[in-house]
Amino acid sequence: MIIDLIGGGSLGLLYGGKLAAAGVKVRLWCRSAEQVEQLQMKGILIQNTYGAAEALAKPEAFTAGVIEEFASYWKQEPGQWIFLMTKQKDTEAVCQMSAGLLEQDKLAQDRRPGVVGFQNGYGHMERIERILPGWPLYAAVTTEGAKRTALHEVLHAGMGTTWIGVTEQSNIGREIAVNPDHLVKMLQKAGFSAVLSNDIDSRIYRKLLINAVINPLTALWDISNGELLASDKRMQMMRMLLDEALVVYEACGISCDEDIWEQIVEVCAATAGNTSSMRKDVQDGAATEVDWINGSIVALAGKAGIRAAAHEMVTGIIKGLTIREE
């Protein structure tokens, strides 16, 4: 089995490194030739929070290349799974590239590779399915904590769980030849807590709520996740964003755990020293995923005929902080 991981960020390095170290045939596709060179020379080093090596995938244990080479490699040796580990803004371009894999080959549906979307936020699976109709598409929700510390190194900041499943909107039949059970077992063999979920939509909506509360505030105040709990004023802002999102969910008929507030506080405490991806993007002056996180809450509110003023406001402020957002 071959797994193509598209995106050499923190999750790409974490999953690619652990899978390759476990003997899975992995191809990791990155944006920059510089990162590819580092990976080909040094492999992938995964460190734990104590500074010790958790796993090392030697250069010969996997293939590294730039994303533009993905299609040509795949056509020479087709893979069985594609992990989309890019940010939301890059997902459509990568899917268009994937769609081109089968243009000449006209492979039967049961030979198409399974595609797993690891994106934050909401709406990505619908966009992926529009570009890849008829493909076996799966959504992944993970609570693994990871931070890329070098082009070939990643800090495994916290153990979590990875849920994989088919969304309610998906038209994919469950008779597709790619076997998600086999994939989950491979992830487990590589050291991940992986679960095949029959209710992945609830997981997506739950993570969206958590991200919509934590990410923008850590980015606005330039603080770690745990520092959100340091004052009542900060927690009041968290609660305001949550309460507004819950009104939107109720209007849309989306169910939510009754203890979601306690879960958010627990996430902040468990990841106290972590930097959210949105905070890191703002620090780097890079485009954030706020349109797909808080912007998704705003969009859901619009569909229900109501407004989500607080989420609309933080979306605009975050976009104003980054110089490459448009």
> pLDDT tens across 185-197, in order?
999 999 999 999 9
Residue carrying the six token digits 């076996």: 136
- Closest alpha carbon to 3 in 96, 83, 111, 99: 83
- Over residues 48-62, the mean pLDDT reads 94
- Segment 273-301, tens digit of pLDDT: 889 999 999 999 989 999 999 999 999 99
Distances in whole angstroms, Cα of residue 207 to Cα of each of 6, 118, 142, 170, 266: 22, 12, 9, 19, 13
- The whole-model pTM stands at 0.91
Rounded Cα distance, 37 and 66, in Å? 10
Amino acid letter for position 52: A
Window from 98-107, 139-148, 269-278 with minimum mean pLDDT: 98-107
> 43: left (phi > 0), else alpha (psi -120 to 50), else beta?
left
- For residues 246 and 66, what is the distance between their CA atoms, to the nearest angstrom? 41
* pLDDT computed for residue 94 by the predictor: 82
DSSP state of 168: T
Phi-psi region at 7: left, alpha or beta (left = phi > 0; alpha = psi -120 to 50): left
> Between the CA of residue 249 and those of 16, 237, 302, what are the distances in Å?
35, 18, 12
pLDDT for residue 98: 77
Q: In a 10 Å sphere around its CB, with 0-12 CB exposed, 13-18 middle and 19+ buried, how is residue 161 labelled?
A: middle
Cα–Cα separations (whole angstroms), residue 152 to 36, 43, 74, 119, 173: 9, 7, 23, 21, 38
**CA of 88: how far to CAs of 16, 85, 167, 258, 296, in Å?**
19, 9, 17, 29, 12
Q: Percent of the chain scored above 90 by pLDDT?
A: 73
pLDDT tens column, 252-266: 999 999 999 999 999
**Token output for 154:** 């990643």
Instruction: Give domain 202-321's CATH superfamily.
Output: N-(1-d-carboxylethyl)-l-norvaline Dehydrogenase; domain 2 (1.10.1040.10)
pLDDT at 229: 98
Is the pLDDT assigned to residue 159 strictly greater than 80?
A: yes
CA dihedral 62, 65, 69, 75 (to 10 degrees): 0
- Please choose, from the candidates 48, 14, 41, the residue with its C-alpha nearest in 3D space to the C-alpha of residue 28: 14
For residues 125 and 139, give the distance between their C-alpha atoms in angstroms, rounded to a whole number: 7
Query: What is the mean predicted confidence (pLDDT) over 26-46?
Result: 98
Question: What's the mean per-residue pLDDT of the chain?
Answer: 91
Q: Is the pLDDT of residue 77 over 70?
A: yes
Take residue 113 and report the two structure tokens written for it: 């590779």
In this prediction, residue 75 carries a pLDDT of 86
Q: What is the pLDDT of residues 208-229, one digit of tens each?
A: 999 999 999 999 999 999 999 9
- Rounded mean pLDDT of 89-110? 69
Helix residue ranges per DSSP H, the chain: 10-21, 33-42, 70-76, 88-99, 124-131, 180-189, 200-221, 232-252, 260-270, 277-284, 294-303, 309-321
- pLDDT for the residue numbered 294: 98
CATH architecture of 2-198: 3-Layer(aba) Sandwich (3.40)
pLDDT class of 158 with cuts at 50, 70, 90? confident
pLDDT band with cut points at 50, 70 and 90 for residue 118: very high
pLDDT mean over 148-163: 94
Domain boundaries, the chain: 2-198, 202-321
- For residue 57, the SS3 value is strand
